[in-house]
Structure 1
Amino acid sequence: MYLIIGLGNPGPRYELTRHNIGFLVADSLAEKQRIVLSQGKYKALYGEGKIEGCDVIVAKPMTYMNNSGQSVKLILSALNIFPTRVLVIHDDIDLPLGKIKVKTKGGDAGQLGVRSITEKVGTDQYCRIRVGVGRPDDRGDIVDYVLTPFPEADTQLLNEVIEKAVIKVEETLIEMNKRNNKTGDRGEC
């Protein structure tokens, strides 16, 4: 079983903000794979299904970004999933809009949702899909920037970025599963 986490903040106020790109990608992935996300335990919207032959849970923590680790820890503990079988999708201000990178472990680069997960789970040994949202042009306040909706002019680009990120999640999951088959039960990214 693999756990795919999209990071973001719940509620309509945050729906199309840069900080919610993880939610947007998780929603698109779930829709593409016909996985229904619904409220339940674990302080998350989540659903179970198969992607590329792998059993997965797609989840969106409802704890707000900075407390995402609470939800992730609950899921891992309840379902006995190794952190190395976790794939977290999140915004990254150090990448321009449209750039997507996979990170296999390491620091949080100031991303507080990632920091929360690392602290609650007790390791940084999980996979991340970093989705670039860029930085403010005027060196303005980062918090205001990530909590501001994408401009309408970026709608087409945003849709393309979400589609690219969904494909990257699927490719990364395939790669994780191949490594799992070679290394035993840990599913390293």
Structure 2
Amino acid sequence: MKVVVGLGNPGAKYRQTRHNVGFDVLAELANRHGGTTPTIKHESEIVEIFLANEKVILAAPQTFMNLSGRAVRSLMDFYRLSLEDMIVICDDLNLERGRLRLKPSGSAGGQKGLANIIQLLKTEEFARLRVGIGRPPGRMDAAAFVLGKFTEAESPEIQLAVAKAADGVETWIQEDFQTSMNRVNAPN
């Protein structure tokens, strides 16, 4: 079994915001693979899919971004998962909009959802797939930027990145992490 955790904030107010791109990747995967009706468990909205004869749990923490570690810790404990069976998908201000970066481990890099997961798992040794949302324009506050919606001009680029991120998750499950990392991190 694999767990794919997409980070974001719950509620209609935050739909389609830059901070919720992790939720968007989960929705893409559920759409592609006929996900089950969502249920709420482990402080997450859970959808199950099957991919390459493997059960995959798509988990969208409902704790708000900065407390995502609670949901991840609960999932890891309940399903007795190893860290190699989980990947976390999140937005990244420090990557160009639409650029992806898949790594097997690393620091939070300023992403507060990742920071909380690292704190509660007591390790940085889990895979993360970052989706670049770019930097705020001018002197715009970073929090206001990440909680803002993508513009009409930005949407096609983000939709493409979400699709490529979903492709990367599929490759991780169907093949292996290294192959997925090579494809996802390759220049466009």
* Identical residues among aligned pairs (%): 34
CA–CA separation in structure 2 for the residues paired with 1:55 and 1:103: 23
Match in the other structure for 1:186? none
2: CA distance between counterparts of 1:44 and 1:36?
Answer: 14
CA-based RMSD of the aligned residues comes to 1.7
C-alpha displacement of 1:178:
8.6
Give the Å deviation of 1:22: 0.2
Q: Distance in 2 between matches of 1:111 and 1:178?
A: 24
Counterpart-to-counterpart distance in 2, 1:60 and 1:151: 23
In structure 2, the partner of 1:59 is 59
Q: What residue is the counterpart of 1:128 in the other structure?
A: 128
Q: Distance in 2 between matches of 1:65 and 1:175?
A: 30
In structure 2, C-alpha distance between the alignment counterparts of 1:39 and 1:6, rounded to whole Å: 15
- Give the 3-state SS of the residue equivalent to 1:152 in structure 2: coil
Q: Residues of 1 paired with 2:29 and 2:163: CA distance?
A: 9
- TM-score, normalised to structure 2, is 0.89
Say if 2:7 is the partner of 1:10.
Answer: no
| In 1, Cα distance between equivalents of 2:177 and 2:17 | 32
Unaligned 5+ runs, structure 2: 180-188
Moved beyond 3 Å, runs of 4+? 174-179
What secondary structure is seen at the aligned counterpart in 2 of 1:23? helix
Deviations 1:164-184 (A, max 9, x none): 1111111223344799xxxxx
Cα distance change on mapping 1:164 and 1:142 into 2, 3 Å: same
User: C-alpha separation between the residues in 2 aligned to 1:43 and 1:139?
Assistant: 35
- Does the 8 Å CA contact 2:171/2:177 hold for their aligned counterparts? no
How far apart, CA to CA, are the structure 1 residues paired with 2:52 and 2:178? 11
